[in-house]
């Protein structure tokens, strides 16, 4: 029997992928179920959402849909890199720590070079050092810089920082990949348009997250440098990422993008994280090691509070960041959830 949610407060803060699909995505999913349509992406939903994304990013980009973020990142890297190339990313990057070597595997051996990061954000000086300290034939040729927005530690690059990284990458001859598993939360928090964020960072390929922002499943891979997208459809197919009933990956995006539901939900998740962070900050024994800038809250909890939260059935990750507990908020997190967690943390 599944745990009774009334008894087990549970999983709403463990990850933003513990939430269900949001109503707008679900309604579009159900609507797309009504009639027979062409398979493998030759359907009108897929065409329409691809056009919507081109409008959103204000450029004729190439758009693909895959089942998850590991595939999106791994295949995006493989499209940018030959086997003798290297990818510069932060030591906290999902690409490095959580993809089981997928980017190396799908690129046929491209090496990942780890750059120092501060609060999850890449240090430009570290990128430059990695990209320039060797230029001989014996070293894997730096080709791509990958940044995560928002970062794995829930922080955000500012638009000025994106400018700097974009300019630096192009000066060094590097392509720019963005892991945007939670890109919507960044857009909502930065108050800039998706197109502006991409322009500032001079992004060549964006993995646009769907699952964590309220889709049932699926991510988009968007190439702003269309030359990189050549034969990408074959990579997706070979990797087992071409959905035969593609409409179920794509139609929910239509629901999300209409009337800006994706940004409304992302702003809500960010606001819930803000409420939670403020509540934790008011508890004297709790430290917040990173600023809460999107929908993640990291809190260093004293053992007594951690044990109490565990005993009361709350789930959250403790393996991301140094010694802190991570609480993720989603489109589905309510003020009641946040206040219940905080009440339990305070021992009420
Ligand atoms: C969740 C996540 C992904 C995607 O992970 P999958 O489990 O493969 O869908 C990618 N990048 C970041 C930063 C993530 O948090």
Is 60 exceeded by the pLDDT of residue 76? yes
- Distance, in Å, from the CA atom of 324 to the CA atom of 297, rounded to the nearest integer, reads 10
Residue where one domain finishes, among candidates 258, 279, 300: 258
Task: Convert the pLDDT of each residue in 42-51 to its tens digit.
Answer: 999 999 999 9
Is 3 inside any structural domain?
Answer: no
Residue where one domain finishes, among candidates 242, 258, 274: 258
> Contact 213/270 with Cβ under 8 angstroms?
no
Is 181 inside any structural domain?
Answer: yes
Q: Which atom of ligand 1 is nearest to the CA of 211?
A: 9
Instruction: Please give the pLDDT value at position 9.
Output: 61
Q: Does one domain contain both 40 and 162?
A: yes
> Does the beta carbon of 241 lie inside 6 Å of ligand 1?
no
Task: Convert the pLDDT of each residue in 9-61 to its tens digit.
Answer: 688 899 999 999 999 999 999 999 999 999 999 999 999 999 999 999 999 99
Is 90 exceeded by the pLDDT of residue 6? no
Q: What is the mean pLDDT of residues 220-227?
A: 98
**CA of 78 relative to ligand 1 center, distance in Å:** 17
Q: Does one domain contain both 277 and 253?
A: no
Phi, psi of 300 (to 5 degrees): -85, 110
Instruction: Please give the pLDDT value at position 232.
Output: 98
**CA of 35 relative to ligand 1 center, distance in Å:** 32
Q: What is the mean pLDDT of residues 74-88?
A: 98
Residue where one domain finishes, among candidates 258, 282, 302: 258
> Does the beta carbon of 113 lie inside 6 Å of ligand 1?
no
Q: Does one domain contain both 94 and 45?
A: yes
Residue nearest to atom 10 of ligand 1 (CA): 69
pLDDT band at 1 (very low <50, low <70, confident <90, very high): very low
Q: Which of 70, 77, 240, 241 to mutate to test the pocket of ligand 1 (most atoms within 8 A of CB)?
A: 70
Q: Which atom of ligand 1 is nearest to the CA of 71?
A: 8
> Contact 31/56 with Cβ under 8 angstroms?
no
Instruction: Please give the pLDDT value at position 91.
Output: 94
Q: Does one domain contain both 233 and 266?
A: no
> Does the beta carbon of 94 lie inside 6 Å of ligand 1?
yes
- Output b/e per residue, 9-25; b: 16+ Cβ within 10 A: bbbbbebbbebebbebb
Which domain CATH number covers 310? 3.90.1150.10
Q: Does one domain contain both 207 and 325?
A: no
User: What stretch of H or E contains 230?
Assistant: none
Q: Could you tell me the residue range of the domain that residue 275 belongs to?
A: 9-19+261-345
Instruction: Please give the pLDDT value at position 216.
Output: 98
Instruction: Please give the pLDDT value at position 12.
Output: 87
Q: Does one domain contain both 190 and 282?
A: no
Is 2 inside any structural domain?
Answer: no
Q: Does one domain contain both 174 and 280?
A: no
Q: What is the mean pLDDT of residues 72-94?
A: 98
Q: What is the mean pLDDT of residues 207-215?
A: 98
Q: Does one domain contain both 313 and 170?
A: no
Q: How many domains does the chain have?
A: 2
**CA of 275 relative to ligand 1 center, distance in Å:** 24
Task: Convert the pLDDT of each residue in 100-144 to its tens digit.
Answer: 999 999 999 999 999 999 999 999 999 999 999 999 999 999 999
Q: Which of 66, 98, 211, 218 to mutate to test the pocket of ligand 1 (most atoms within 8 A of CB)?
A: 98
């Amino acid at each position: 029997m599944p745990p009774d949610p009334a008894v087990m407060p549970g999983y709403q803060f463990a990850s933003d992928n513990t939430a269900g699909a949001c109503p707008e995505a679900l309604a579009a999913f159900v609507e797309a179920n009504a009639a027979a349509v062409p398979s493998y992406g030759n359907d009108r939903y897929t065409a329409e959402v691809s056009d919507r994304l081109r409008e959103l990013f204000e450029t004729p980009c190439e758009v693909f849909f895959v089942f998850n973020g590991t595939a999106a990142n791994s295949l995006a890297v493989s499209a940018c890199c030959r086997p003798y190339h290297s990818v510069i990313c932060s030591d906290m990057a999902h690409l490095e720590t959580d993809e089981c070597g997928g980017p190396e595997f799908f690129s046929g051996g491209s090496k990942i070079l780890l750059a120092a990061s501060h609060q999850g954000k890449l240090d430009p000086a570290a990128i430059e050092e990695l990209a320039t300290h060797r230029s001989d034939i014996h070293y894997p040729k730096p080709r791509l810089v990958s940044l995560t927005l928002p970062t794995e530690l829930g922080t955000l690059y500012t638009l000025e920082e994106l400018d700097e990284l974009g300019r630096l990458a192009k000066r060094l001859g590097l392509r720019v990949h963005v892991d945007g598993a939670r890109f919507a939360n960044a857009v909502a928090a930065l108050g800039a348009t998706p197109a502006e964020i991409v322009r500032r960072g001079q992004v060549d390929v964006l993995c646009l997250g769907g699952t964590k922002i309220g889709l049932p499943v699926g991510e988009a891979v968007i190439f702003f440098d269309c030359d990189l997208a050549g034969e990408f459809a074959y990579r997706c197919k070979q990797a087992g990422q071409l959905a035969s009933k593609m409409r179920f990956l794509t139609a929910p995006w239509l629901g999300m993008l209409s009337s800006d539901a994706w940004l409304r939900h992302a702003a809500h998740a960010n606001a819930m994280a803000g409420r939670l962070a403020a509540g934790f900050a008011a508890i004297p024994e709790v430290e917040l090691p990173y600023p809460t800038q999107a929908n993640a809250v990291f809190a260093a909890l004293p053992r007594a509070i951690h044990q109490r939260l565990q005993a009361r059935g709350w789930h959250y990750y403790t393996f991301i960041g140094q010694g802190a507990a991570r609480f993720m908020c989603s489109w589905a997190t309510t003020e009641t959830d946040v206040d219940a967690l905080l009440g339990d943390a305070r021992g009420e």
